[in-house]
Amino acid sequence: MVSPLSKAERLGFGRAVSAQEIQLWDIDVRPDGAGLPKGNGSVAEGKVLYLQQCLSCHGDRGLGGVNEPLAGRIAGDAFPFGRDPGLKKTIGNYWPYATTVFDYIRRAMPFSQPGTLSDDEVYSLVAYLLHLNDIIDPDQHIGADNLAAIRMPSRHRFVVDDRIPIDYRHPEGG
């Protein structure tokens, strides 16, 4: 088997990635909150940031603009996406974990400059978005100590696939 490093050496380009470089990208956050960085944010701070960083794409109060809406619940927290695939999936009606909202914003937003927000700014934006979806109160602060405990309206609709893992690798030489 040929490793990527040996390919780079053989072809004369590329280099080994340092542990420090890997650490910069190793920022995943799990649903249980493992990987959340220190920090905190408030709904009020998040609103200010939203108006500066998010409004132009996601519209007033997260209801949609040139990009998808971020806010909105379905009456009774129904989950009709299988019957009507055209429904818009928002943080309030679809996302199962608040930690996933943090992870996504931290990695991918703002669209024109992903990864430029501080951890406190990401916590603040998440707080504001959770408030827009009637998930937290306007005076609530969120951070690494309480984000994973927030119950999202659709969390119970997602289940962990705990089937026995299947080894999909080809047999040697196959």
Can you give the pLDDT of all 174 residues of the chain as single tens digits?
445 555 556 677 788 888 888 888 888 999 999 999 999 999 999 999 999 999 999 999 999 999 999 999 988 888 888 888 888 999 999 999 999 999 999 999 999 999 999 999 999 999 999 999 999 999 999 999 999 999 999 998 888 777 777 666 655 544
The angle at the Cα of 79, spanning 75 to 80, to the nearest 5 degrees, equals 100
Which residue range forms the structural domain that includes residue 51?
A: 29-157
What CATH number does the domain containing 90 carry? 1.10.760.10
Residue 3 lies in a domain: no
173 part of a folded domain: no
In 14-152, which ranges are E strands?
40-42, 141-143
Strand ranges (E), the chain: 40-42, 141-143
User: What pTM value is reported for the model?
Assistant: 0.82
**What is the pLDDT at residue 165?**
74
